[in-house]
Amino acid sequence: MTRQGRTALTVLGAILALAVLHITTILVPVEDWLRSALAPLGSAATSAGTGLAKGFKGRMAIEQCNEKTADLETRLSSVSVDYVRLRALEEENEVLRKTLGYIQREGFDAVMARVISRSAVPERALIMIDRGSKDGLETGMAVVVGDGVFVGKVSAIQERTATVTLLSDPQSRVAVARSGQRRLIGLVEGRSNWTAEVTLIPQQEALDTNDILVTSGTEEKVPPNLTVGQINKVESQPTDPFKQASLQPLVPLEYIETVAVLRPQALRPGS
């Protein structure tokens, strides 16, 4: 047999052995351990890439900066009005809670996780985090950043790691409501390139630019009232049964480095 024949046989044998060991799940614990061991390196590399991307993005042209400032000022004025109104409502709510002796029990706790890798294909918005089924995570759980801004859902789970589908991924679907209302008004679908669209909005639903959308709470493992994004533009044809709107996520999804997975308290290990 020639040298190349021997090499081909060795390589094909190795591939076959790997495939068999993987399919029979014999390799799964080893894979999980290796993934866990490589997680710090992955996290550092992701962090370095994100830092570099932020640095490159920081070098914006003056026209772009002016445009962005004007846009932000418009939004700020609109949000300021909402803020004043919400402060008044919050104070009223506080008084009511005290009066009624209301005890807030959300029933969820947060599991902090680091992003250890991101999908290299720009059309997909997937991240891998360093927490898995060992930490009580399950498929479908909500993933948030900051003060409860919803960014995606756990879509695949391993023992020590999990894959999160961000809301801008083409395969992501999230049921949303308007802020302050628990009524489902549409579905947020990812459109890649870090954008998303709200679809299936009934024509009679009054939805305006700058409206804030939140999770509706109709999904079992996603609590209600998590901020999802802000409406950018509403598109409606009188002949269509539904209208749609473009949605701007409230956090830059491409720069996320740390997230929190919302776990129902009943699933907390040891509870």
Partner 1 sequence: MRRSSWAILGAASVAAGIYESAFLGSAPFPFCYLHPVLPCCVLFFLLNRRAAAYATAGLSGAVMDLMSAGPPGLVTVRWLCIMLMIDLLAEGVATNRSLYASMLLVGAARLADRVLWLMAAWSLHFLFRLDPVLESWARFLGILSVDLILTATFFVLISLFTKRFVISVSPRRTRYE
Q: Which of 6, 8, 94, 139 binds partner 1 (CB under 8 A)?
A: 8
Q: CA 148 to CA 250: how far, in whole Å? A: 11
Contact between 4 and partner 1 (CB under 8 A)?
yes
Nearest-approach distance from CB 238 to partner 1, in angstroms: 34
Residue 117, SS3 per DSSP: strand
CA-CA distance, 31 to 153, in Å (whole number)?
23
Q: H or E segment at 143?
A: strand 142-145
Q: Determine which residue in the list 19, 72, 76, 84 makes contact with partner 1, applying CB under 8 A.
A: 19
Q: Indicate whether 113 belongs to the interface with partner 1 (CB under 8 A).
A: no
26 interacts with partner 1 by CB under 8 A:
no
CA 121 to chain centre: 17
**Could you tell me the sign of the dihedral formed by the alpha carbons of 106, 109, 115, 117, in that order?**
negative
Give me the least distance between CB of 147 and partner 1, in Å please: 23
Hey, what are 92's tokens? Answer: 């009223």
Based on the shown chain and the rule CB under 8 A, indicate whether residue 52 belongs to the binding site for partner 1: yes
State which of residues 100, 120, 206, 266 lies at the interface with partner 1 (CB under 8 A). 120
Question: Is residue 7 part of the contact set for partner 1 (CB under 8 A)?
Answer: yes
Instruction: Give the single-character DSSP code of 191.
Output: -
Q: What is the b/e burial string over 221-240, where b = at least 16 CB atoms within 10 angstroms of the residue's CB?
A: bbbebbbbbbbeebeeeeee
How many residues sit in the footprint of partner 1 (CB under 8 A)? 41
Kindly tell me which residue out of 6, 20, 41, 238 binds partner 1, with binding defined by CB under 8 A: 41
Q: Which residues bind partner 1 (CB under 8 A)?
A: 4, 7-8, 11, 14-15, 18-19, 31, 34-35, 38, 41-43, 45-46, 48-50, 52-53, 56-57, 116-124, 126-128, 163, 170-171, 254-255
